[in-house]
Amino acid sequence: MIGAYVFLYATGLILPVYSAVLPGVKTVLVNNVLVPKTKTNFAKDNITARWAAGYPKEWGSEDYYYQINDPEPDDNFHFAFAEDGKVLALTNSTHAKIFDLSKNTSVTTFPLDGPTKNFVTDLKIWPAAQGGYELFAGYAAYQYDIPKVTHRQSIDSDLTPVGTPIVYQGPIGAISKEGKMASLTGYIYDLTTTDNTPIATIEGQPDLTDFSFNPDGVRLASVSWHAMTADLWNATSGQKVFEFPSTQSQNWAARFSPDGKYILFVLGSPKNTIQIYQSANLSAAPIEIKGFNDWPRNFAWSPTGEQLAVGDPNRLRIFNIPSQKIIQTWEVDVLGYPIPPTDISWADGGKKISWIWREAKYLYDFETNIEWYWNYRTTDHSWGPSGFFYAKDQGYAITADGDSTVRFWKL
């Protein structure tokens, strides 16, 4: 999603950190760690979430960590977790390093073969239908720009690279479980082959912002920022299937629910609204969720598609769909600095949810009403992208942190 993409990378500049919480944020001291004070924390049966034993925690107290090299502010660090939770990929300016998370070992390091004087500005690792993985690296001329080309490097089941990279035009928009990839330049590719010729082209839609395949990979939803359009396409032919009414807003995201029952569109300025259409009745008026403080472009469907987690400045709320009822709320008590949570993700079959607010990572368990928190120390520095992954099979929370370090925390 380009909207979130631009926001995250605009904040990925070198940032010396001198306090565990930035000025303008009300704080409390828990376990000798400063944490943001909340107006409302996630709760169960009207009981506010409690901290997990030993939490909150700071960098330096992790069980172990991975790096591709010693952290440097000018390094082009990126990371990607495979959806199956088994593999981690790290890259710097010149090399990629693959880790086997099931064994907690580094398997291979190999040179990147990207365009000269370009930067890796997007990274994904995807389980391949034939076994092994596909590593996608997007390259751009500037460190925080949108990729112009994407390289696909095949990784075999032993987690070692196979063959030479295949080059595609444009940044990745979406990848289907059936092996189709849509680029934000309007091309649809077949990843089950090594042919980088598009199987279809979506035409007449300028500045595509986001794509989403439905669960069976037959349909492709798209939005355009400048054209203010939302459309549905045949994912094989590229032909338009349905044209939604003009949103009259800057559209930031398109996303099918995991069960394919709904199609969600994020409307930015001036409406700041989420529209949700029923796939079985596209002509019906959409469900609309309003009342956001800014663009609600940070969101995640629950695995069942019955709930939607949405972040806007300084808060994260969970809505029931289609009733639009707010189920739970997390909101920070601040004096300023309206920053939304990012990297919202459901985990453990929907039993947990994770998010990032500023540099800090959060994980909440709906069943036990327990919350975890990880942040930097007052002496640490941050300059790069960050992320979070919950590896249930290994029993670890994994934080990719802004000092180019991936840390492992046993839960």
Residue partners of 245: CB distance under 8 A and separation at least 6: none
For every one of its 411 residues, what pLDDT tens digit does the chain have, with 9 covering 90 and above?
333 333 333 333 344 444 455 667 889 999 999 999 999 999 999 999 999 999 999 999 999 999 999 888 888 899 999 988 999 999 998 999 999 998 889 999 999 999 988 999 999 999 987 889 999 999 999 888 889 999 999 999 999 999 999 999 989 889 998 899 999 889 999 999 999 999 999 876 667 899 999 999 999 999 998 888 999 999 999 999 999 999 888 899 999 999 999 999 999 888 999 999 999 999 999 999 999 988 899 999 999 999 999 999 999 999 999 899 999 999 999 877 789 999 999 999 999 999 999 889 999 999 999 999 999 998 888 888 899 999 999 899 999 999 999 999 999
End-to-end CA distance of the chain: 31
Question: Which amino acid makes up residue 95?
Answer: H
The pair of three-digit structure tokens given for residue 160, joined into one six-digit string: 């070692």
Instruction: Say what the pLDDT of residue 314 is.
Output: 94
Instruction: Say what the pLDDT of residue 191 is.
Output: 92
Instruction: Say what the pLDDT of residue 336 is.
Output: 74
Instruction: Say what the pLDDT of residue 73 is.
Output: 84
C-alpha neighbours within 13 Å on the C-beta side of residue 185: 13
Please choose, from the candidates 315, 313, 316, 376, the residue with its C-alpha nearest in 3D space to the C-alpha of residue 345. 316
For tokens 């590229």, what's the residue? Answer: 238
Instruction: Say what the pLDDT of residue 205 is.
Output: 66
Residue partners of 19: CB distance under 8 A and separation at least 6: 34, 378
